Amino acid sequence: MRPYSTNLADERLIIVVSGPGGVGKGTIVDALVQRDPNLWLSRSWTTRERRDGEAENAYVFVSAGDFESHISRGGFLEWTEFLGNYYGTPRPDERNDPGAPDIVLEIELDGAQQVKQQYPQAILIFVLPPSRAEQERRLRGRGDPDDKVFARLRKAEKEEPIGRELADYLVVNDELERTVDEMINIVNRERAR
Ligand code: ADP
Ligand code: 5GP
């Protein structure tokens, strides 16, 4: 097992999971870290409101003022504005990082590009929906209102070609169990390199 360090330039595997809204990224990474205790899921900060039924610890929910102060302190590894809200990955430190050897970031494409620039060794897994219709069904099933559904679908159309280009691995999230198996295989393959 690799030694624990908050320095991501060290030997920690950095797995970046990205892909369009509603494709199932959050569901997949939760299952992934449950299956593999050597993976640690970084908890992002956001200024968006918590969704009905969403876990209280899904994010660190903060005000725009608090988020902006954290930006000026250099507290984020990467951050972006996504459909009117800020989202960012706090820099791992002793307080927020329990020290599992390898780190998982579930972030959108702009953030994934920032991470890749800083840590070229990071592995980007871009998750695709089986179809746009199924992505829409999942967004609605999660309770997203119409305007959010359309905004996320429009963004997906624009970003998918860039994601395909940038990705180290493309994974279609058809059956959840199968998808998680495929991700575990990818992580193990990368560890063995
Ligand atoms: P994202 O984090 O990519 O925005 P979520 O993890 O919130 O997506 O998933 C969106 C919805 O799709 C959720 O209701 C989730 O339960 C559902 N979902 C995730 N993966 C699958 C799958 N393989 N098959 C069917 N529904 C799924
Ligand atoms: P949602 O509002 O659906 O939870 O998230 C919207 C988008 O923001 C998703 O694509 C999600 O992956 C992304 N996201 C979540 N946390 C972060 C983060 O810390 N940084 C970046 N760049 N994107 C994030």
Our answer on whether the CB atom of 156 is closer than 6 Å to any ligand 1 atom is no
Q: Measure 1 CA to ligand 1 centroid, in angstroms.
A: 32
Q: How far apart are CA 138 and CA 153, in angstroms?
A: 11
Number of domains into which the chain is organized: 1
Q: Is residue 126 part of a domain?
A: yes
Amino acid sitting at position 32: L
What averages of pLDDT result for each successive group of 10 residues across the chain (193 residues)? 52 93 96 94 95 91 98 96 95 70 94 96 97 96 93 94 97 98 97 90
Q: What is the pLDDT of residue 4?
A: 45
Q: Is residue 169 part of a domain?
A: yes
Q: How far apart are CA 42 and CA 39, in angstroms?
A: 10
What is the domain-level CATH number for residue 166?
A: 3.40.50.300
CA-wise closest residue to 64 among 79, 78, 85:
85
Which residue has 């309770």 as its token pair? Answer: 143
Residues with CB under 6 A from ligand 2: 21, 25, 44, 48, 78, 80, 82, 87-89, 106-108, 110-111
Backbone angles phi, psi at 115, to 5 degrees: -65, -45
